[in-house]
Amino acid sequence: MENNQRGFTSNIGAIAAAAGSAIGLGNIWRFPYTLGQNGGGAFLLIYIIFVIFLGVPLMMTEFAIGRRSQSNVVGAYRVLSPKHKGWMGIGILGLICGFMIYSFYSVVAGWTLNYIALSATGGFAGKDAAAVGEIFTQFTQSSYLPLITQAAFLILTGVIVVMGVQKGIEKFTKILMPILFLLMILLCVRSVTLDGASEGLKFLFKPDFNNFTATGVLSALGQAMFSLSIGMGLLVTYGSYIRKNDDLLKTSVCIAGTDTLIALLAGIAIFPAVFAFGLSPESGPSLVFITLPNVFNNMPLGMVFAILFFVLLAIAALTSTISLLEILVLWAVEELKMKRITATILISFVIFAIGAVCSLSLGSWSDFTIGGLCVFDLFDELTATYFMPIGALAFTIFFGWFYRKEEVWNELSNGGTLKAKYFKIYYFIIRYIAPLALIIVLITGALGIGN
């Protein structure tokens, strides 16, 4: 099958889809609270350095593996290493990782729909901080409401994925991404015009290394990997859709740049408002779902901006769930020979069932724990702390040490048509720097440093 039939119709389509997959709750939910807990501007600076010098090379590697093989995340390693089937384990790990992330991610994505409804109906109006917190607790611990919103999000995602790569994923991400940017800019403008907003901007952009620790450095590296979707097979999947004449360096830089820009805009939209109303930037995971509704309550036209923000959050979540489902669907279509619609429906049902367990583990099933973690937190911990770094370490070893250097050069230079002057630096990073950094992440995660 030719690449133009298999995948995206243009480089813009590839960038929009892949950037959409990277831009999600990780940028607008996880990034702000992680930055808030790790000193603001100093964290941001280290984060950007990691994105440039590790994130981009790792993204290029996954894209190259996918495009070279023209296959799904499991089949890619079988195609590139037909005599050593053990490398397929990397793809299987990526598949498991994507499955687990989609299971709990779809639950959180569903929360955004509930918060749109609450914002639109004045559900937060007149509520103090404690009451807003109680709304969040009661909803997330409910036995059925989160399952309804999760199911709605799964259906919406499934409909788009069933339509295919060009008519579904590419078409909708080209529409959703500009809307996401527009909403983000509107929220940023409103936030920076509040009285006292300058303190929030100072917190975000003025690096202060006096209280910045090694834990902050590791958190920045972990956030860079999580935000760019490295190590879960998503980039390999989308890499197989990228055209053979597209420059993988430029594509990766555009995606990483777009992803980082959205994270920055999320910080600009959130922190000036948080400081303007005297709230703590260190609120943790509750920053978006508890702290911000309090901000909107005290802001002129707060209900309007609350609706806009949670619509933005839902769009960001949708661009990611589309990609997470596509990892699994492409595998089922190519490896199990299923029809796309059959694979989408079956996988969505399984994800709903596992996601329901994740959701209930926050409420009525919270007494059941493994290693002290409920199922929701266990899935999050296993994927972010172990599976993604292990997957990334494995594919860097495969591409940097096992796969022939000439073949790597051939793929990144598009058969020699690009000069690819960066190749020596890229190859050094993939062989030495990236594996060392990933090993450090794994060791610190296993030892619980920073937790």
pLDDT, one tens digit per residue, over 269-291 is 888 888 887 777 776 666 778 87
Amino acid 4: pLDDT: 42
Most confident by average pLDDT, 29-43, 281-295, 360-374: 360-374
Q: How many domains does the chain have?
A: 1
**pLDDT > 90 fraction of the chain, expressed in percent and rounded:** 48
Question: What is the pTM (predicted TM-score) of this model?
Answer: 0.89
Is a pLDDT exceeding 60 seen at residue 449?
A: no
Residues 300-325 have pLDDT tens digits of 788 888 888 888 888 888 888 988 99
The 3-state secondary structure of the chain, one letter per residue: CCHHHHCCCCHHHHHHHHHHHHCCHHHHHHHHHHHHHCCCHHHHHHHHHHHHHHHHHHHHHHHHHHHHHCCCCCHHHHHHCCCCHHHHHHHHHHHHHHHHHHHHHHHHHHHHHHHHHHHHCCCCCCCCHHHHHHHHHHHHCCCCHHHHHHHHHHHHHHHHHHCCHHHHHHHHHHHHHHHHHHHHHHHHHHHHCCCCHHHHHHHHHCCCCCCCCHHHHHHHHHHHHHHCCCCCCHHHHHHCCCCCCCCHHHHHHHHHHHHHHHHHHHHHHHHHHHHHCCCCCCCCCHHHHHHHHHHHHCCCCHHHHHHHHHHHHHHHHHHHHHHHHHHHHHHHHHHCCCCHHHHHHHHHHHHHHHHHHHHHCCCCCCCCCECCECHHHHHHHHHHHHHHHHHHHHHHHHHHHHCCHHHHHHHHCCCCCCCCCCHHHHHHHHHHHHHHHHHHHHHHHHHCCCC
Amino acid 284: pLDDT: 60
Residues 384-435 have pLDDT tens digits of 888 999 999 999 999 999 999 999 999 999 999 999 899 999 999 999 999 9
Is a pLDDT exceeding 60 seen at residue 1?
A: no
Structural domain containing residue 186: 3-447
Is a pLDDT exceeding 80 seen at residue 31?
A: yes
CATH number at residue 402: 1.10.4160.10
Amino acid 106: pLDDT: 95
Q: 2 falls in which pLDDT band (50, 70, 90)? A: very low
What does pLDDT average to over the chain? Answer: 87
Average pLDDT over residues 339-367: 95
